Amino acid sequence: MKTIEQLSIFLENRTGRLGEITRRLADMDVSIRTLELVEAGDFGILRLILPDVHAVKAQLGSQGISAKITKVFAVEIADNVGCFYRVVSALADEGIDIAYTYTVHNGTQGAFVIKTAEADIARAIARLENDGVTVLDAV
């Protein structure tokens, strides 16, 4: 299945915390493919897609920083008006809720990263591919 593993890090909302985490990632020589920061009052969640999430999670863990690996999937952004609507409405039609979504661009290609309940992922991908949407192996 074309799922992508995403690393989520719980961050307390205090000065320098984001800098500290990203410095550690730089020290580990980790190249960040995508990054999204969610702000929720006194804490935030940093979501990252990286080359080897398991190794990074283990290394962060040894430095006392906990992270969680979540399965998401990514679909190509077709260069035409209404493409996001088609993705969202197809999922709604299947009765699949989107927990959150964000966009990424790697210089040549854009993608929507989508999180649904893990049990729904296979059905979501099948429906989107059936509708002619390109589901990506990686971002």
Partner 1 sequence: MIWNQAESAPREAIEATQVARLRETARRVYAISPFYKKKFDELGVNPEAIKSVEDVQKLPFTKKQDLRDHYPFGLFCVPMSEVVRVHSSSGTTGKPTVVGYNAHDMEVWNEVMARVYTMSGTSAEDVVHNGYGYGLFTGGLGFHTGAEKIGAAVVPASGGFTDRQLMLMRDFGATVLACTPSFALHLAEVAAKAGNDFRKDYKLKTGIFGAEPTSKGLKEEVAKAWGIDYHEVYGLSEIIGPGVSCSCKHSDRLHIFEDHFLAEIIDPKTGEVLPEGERGELVITTLTKQALPIIRYRTGDITSIVKEPCACGRTHARMESIVGRADDMLIVNGVNVYPSQVEHVIANTEGVTLNYQIIADKKGHLDKLEILVEVSEDILVDNAGDMERIKKDIQASLLNNLYINAAVRLVEPNSIERSVGKAVRVVDKRRD
Answer yes or no whether residue 45 interacts with partner 1 by CB under 8 A. yes
Task: Give 79's strand partners.
Answer: none
Sole window of 5-13, 84-92, 106-114, 120-128 interacting with partner 1 (rule: CB under 8 A): 5-13
Answer yes or no whether residue 6 interacts with partner 1 by CB under 8 A. yes
| Minimal distance, residue 74 CB to partner 1, in Å | 16
The residues, any chain, with a CB within 8 Å of residue 60's CB and separated by 6 or more, are: 9, 24, 66, 67
Terminal CA-CA length for the chain: 15
| Minimal distance, residue 126 CB to partner 1, in Å | 24
Answer yes or no whether residue 40 interacts with partner 1 by CB under 8 A. yes
9, 60 Cβ separation under 8 angstroms: yes
Task: Give 136's strand partners.
Answer: 74
Residues lying near partner 1 in the complex (CB under 8 A) = 6, 8, 10-12, 38, 40-45, 47, 64-68, 70, 99-100, 115
